[in-house]
């Protein structure tokens, strides 16, 4: 009788195993379907228009800041996540992302590559004083380092990312008293003295000759640079599609293996159930015979 009860106790485990295999098969199928559809940005366009939750998670993964740090900066300035993102990728706030990176996986791959190509400016951002205690972002000497002579006049500008230097005309009237704004971005940084219009810092560089001027600041909206961005992003979309095909194949094979394993375990479970039913029937028959014998003896 004890052996029979032991077998009964094991029965639920077999049922659970079959159930677990079914769940695994379902998860594999859903994963394949999820990869096939891909995760797309719901909101897409400029840095400010990208889904902020996705951008913030990317910033956390690619900087020395926690999510709370970025939310604190956002509380100080609602555009802070977009500013950090543009700083990481050397983009202007007005840059509209190419459709090639509308798929989040392709975008993330592209963003990581571009961040690395620009010496990963967010890697030690907080540690180097980029985040002030009140949540304000400190952009001093982040994209450009401004140099002034003893009289307070601008005498030199160095692009931090590449080390390129601007040649300052002797007639330049920019002084320490000017406002220096939007230094989160190579493209957006400018200086001005009210009530006069602002001057982009990038315009001080030798257009088309310095590595900074040729590759980043000038022509963000020019057709040739837009084509370069298209090629730059296209390879990440292609890589994503190749990965997708591989995942589909792997998921299909995995589902087939799991289905086979599930079938085998179900067959084993069915066989054990038949055996247990027979054992139970035999035990009940034995008990019944013993009862009948006792009645006869009495």
% of the chain at pLDDT higher than 70: 67
Q: What is the pLDDT of residue 220?
A: 43
How far apart are alpha carbons 278 and 4 in whole angstroms? 10
Write out pLDDT tens, residues 193-207. 988 888 989 888 866
- For the cut 70, the answer to whether the pLDDT of residue 213 exceeds it is no
H or E element that contains 200: strand 199-200
pTM of the model: 0.68
Write out pLDDT tens, residues 262-297. 666 666 666 677 677 777 777 777 766 666 656 555
**Mean pLDDT on 211-234:** 59
Instruction: Kindly list the distances between the CA atom of residue 120 and the CA atoms of 84, 114, 265, in Å, as whole numbers in the listed order.
Output: 12, 9, 51
- For the cut 60, the answer to whether the pLDDT of residue 232 exceeds it is yes
* Residue of 256 and 135 predicted with greater confidence: 135
* Residue of 280 and 254 predicted with greater confidence: 280
Q: What is the pLDDT of residue 262?
A: 64
**Mean pLDDT on 222-234:** 70
How far apart are alpha carbons 34 and 11 in whole angstroms? 35
Instruction: Kindly list the distances between the CA atom of residue 209 and the CA atoms of 147, 218, 232, 246, in Å, as whole numbers in the listed order.
Output: 21, 11, 22, 43
How far apart are alpha carbons 170 and 172 in whole angstroms? 6
How far apart are alpha carbons 82 and 74 in whole angstroms? 9
Write out pLDDT tens, residues 54-113. 999 999 999 999 999 999 999 999 999 999 999 999 888 988 898 999 999 999 999 999
Cis amide bond preceding 150, omega within 30? no
Domain residue ranges of the chain, discontinuous segments joined by +: 2-37+249-297, 39-135, 144-215
List helix spans (H) across the chain. Answer: 2-37, 52-61, 67-76, 80-89, 104-117, 211-212, 223-297
In the structure, what pLDDT confidence band is assigned to residue 137 with cuts at 50, 70 and 90?
very high
143-151: long-range contacts at Cβ-Cβ below 8 A with a sequence spacing of 24 or more? 143/87, 143/183, 143/184, 143/185, 143/186, 143/189, 143/201, 144/183, 144/186, 144/189, 144/201, 146/180, 148/175, 148/176
Q: What is the pLDDT of residue 276?
A: 75
Token match 């592209």: residue? 110
């Amino acid at each position: 009788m004890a052996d029979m009860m032991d077998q009964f106790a094991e029965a639920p485990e077999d049922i659970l195993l079959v159930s677990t295999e079914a769940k695994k098969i379902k998860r594999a199928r859903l994963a394949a379907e999820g990869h096939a559809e891909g995760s797309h940005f719901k909101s897409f366009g400029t840095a400010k228009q990208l889904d902020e939750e996705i951008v913030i998670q990317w910033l956390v993964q690619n900087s020395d800041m926690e999510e709370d740090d970025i939310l604190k900066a956002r509380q100080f300035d609602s555009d802070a996540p977009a500013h950090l993102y543009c700083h990481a990728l050397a983009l202007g706030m007005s840059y509209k992302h190419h459709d090639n990176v509308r798929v989040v996986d392709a975008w993330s791959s592209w963003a990581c590559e571009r961040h690395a190509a620009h010496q990963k400016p967010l890697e030690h951002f907080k540690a180097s004083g980029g985040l002030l205690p009140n949540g304000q972002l400190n952009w001093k000497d982040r994209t450009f380092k401004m140099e002034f002579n003893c009289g307070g006049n601008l005498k030199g500008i160095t692009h931090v990312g590449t080390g390129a230097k601007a040649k300052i005309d002797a007639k330049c009237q920019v002084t320490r008293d000017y406002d220096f704004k939007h230094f989160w971005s190579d493209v957006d940084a400018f200086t001005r003295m009210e009530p006069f219009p602002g001057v982009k810092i990038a315009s001080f560089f030798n257009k088309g000759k310095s590595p900074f001027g040729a590759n980043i600041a000038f022509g963000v909206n020019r057709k040739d640079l837009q084509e370069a961005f298209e090629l730059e992003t296209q390879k990440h979309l292609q890589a994503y599609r190749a990965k997708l095909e591989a995942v589909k194949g792997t998921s299909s094979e995995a589902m087939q293996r799991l289905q086979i394993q599930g079938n085998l375990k179900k067959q084993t479970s069915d066989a054990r159930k038949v055996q247990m039913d027979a054992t139970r029937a035999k035990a009940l028959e034995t008990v019944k015979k013993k009862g009948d014998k006792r009645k006869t003896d009495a």
